[in-house]
Amino acid sequence: MIQWDRLLSMGELDGNAVRPLVGDSWVRCVSSGVDPARTSASTPLPEDGLQALLERESELVGASGPIMAQARDSLSDSGTIMLLTDPSGLILETEGDLSTLDAAERIRLIKGANWNELSTGTNAIGTALSARGPVQIHGSEHFCAGIKGWTCSAAPVRDLTDGTILGALDISGQKSAFNSHLLPFAMAAADRIAAALACREMQRRARLLEYALGRQSRIACGGLILLDRKGRLVKADARAGLALAAIGIELEPQSTFLMEPANPGFPGHVGSKLPDWLQPDWIEPVVEGGERLGTVVILPEWFHQRVAFVHGALPRYKLRRVVEFIDAHIDQPISLENLAAAAAVSPFHFHRQFKKATEMTPHQYVIQMRVKRARSLLAQSDLPLVEIAARVGFSDQSQFSNNFRKCTSVTPKAYRTAAMNGILTSDTQLGERGLQA
């Protein structure tokens, strides 16, 4: 209590007197204006608001059912209760010792109440969600005065696919019920709920794959992408993988395509935030038996044809990286290793893939780019030829003139004269092969 009083009166803590996790939480509470004299959580949600919350979190509540039912018996006469919350700290379910449930009502440790750290101060539920890890808060470690008579242990419930926090599992009681084993108990219960949710998700994904196999056999398209209910990649066929690779999209297990679905029942709803390349009419929500399994993205054939590239060639997005690198370093020596690094490909494979994409060797392409820059300087400036040679990366004027003549069939001097007289050759796209759409 001394350190708590010191923080409230002087705005500082003795760093060694309070656990860092607790001290950091207290500081957050002070910074956010949490009332240290608070004796309970704020007014819980009204009945209709609570029902809407329970409906929205029905999957989490359903997965926790067996664990909460077990707590009803195992925590009876233990002086403790088990609570399940949503990711924001709103309590969804409570079970356990009846007398403790009665006492919990006095501090509003009840359904629909918000135990977010910045609402109700330092407590295991709110601090576990803020710290994104298991937390045990005992007695005076609570920030709000009216909660200091309690002890609580909580652990986040995570989505095992991507680590997203889905809620929290807490075991609380009056501080006389403190037991160091309550935190491992809460962690184990949270893990069981996470495993149950993961099992349900795997079953949905299996059904989604079955649906897609049937869908694929009935249509001709430019590729199929399967997404789970959160818009995360489940599977993509080879044609979709090639088409997306060509526009610089690498398909990874954690790839997410449908962000912040506006309608939790149907990702791809018109309000969803979609990537620029993805059009709403390519999206087909998959619902089976009233349950949404995920989403199928059906790429049209024209999309695949538009972005398709030669098999074994350097993908276009990597080719663009190389061209940008050459353009930025045109006045410097450029090695095969430099170009391969820009494309994130080994030099051996880069040389072969680059030639297949452009019908030129990397060295030939660099020369063409240097000559292209020189043409511009010759036509738009009166710089001496030796200066132009240096600016486009040739070692001397002789090397510049020889390479310029090979590429354009005229000398730099003749090209400049033609430019001044308004007579130019038609090779303005020289050096850009391989980048045509």
Q: Are 46 and 60 in contact (CB under 8 A)?
A: no
CA terminus-to-terminus distance, the chain = 69
Question: What whole-number distance in Å separates Cα of residue 138 and Cα of residue 122?
Answer: 10
Both tokens assigned to 306: 């538009």
Question: What whole-number distance in Å separates Cα of residue 60 and Cα of residue 71?
Answer: 16
Q: Give the DSSP H or E segment for 417.
A: helix 412-420
Could you tell me which residues come within 8 angstroms of residue 234 by beta carbon, excluding any fewer than 6 positions away? 205, 208, 209, 226, 227, 228, 294
Q: How do the pLDDT tens digits run along the chain, 437 residues long?
A: 677 767 677 666 776 778 989 989 988 999 899 999 999 999 999 999 999 999 999 999 999 999 999 998 899 889 999 999 999 999 999 999 999 999 999 999 999 999 999 999 999 999 999 999 999 999 999 999 999 999 999 999 999 988 999 999 999 999 999 999 999 999 999 999 999 999 999 999 999 998 888 776 666 677 889 999 888 889 888 888 877 777 767 777 666 765 444 344 444 444 456 777 788 888 889 998 888 899 898 888 887 666 655 567 887 778 888 999 999 999 999 999 999 999 998 998 899 889 888 888 999 999 999 999 999 999 999 999 999 999 999 999 999 999 999 988 889 999 998 888 876 644 443 333 333 33
Residue 269 is predicted with a pLDDT of 45
Task: Give the burial string for 184-204 (b: 16+ CB within 10 Å, else e).
Answer: ebbbebbebbbebbeeebeeb
Considering only CA atoms, which of 275, 312, 280, 315 is closest in space to residue 295? 280
- Whole-model pTM: value is 0.67
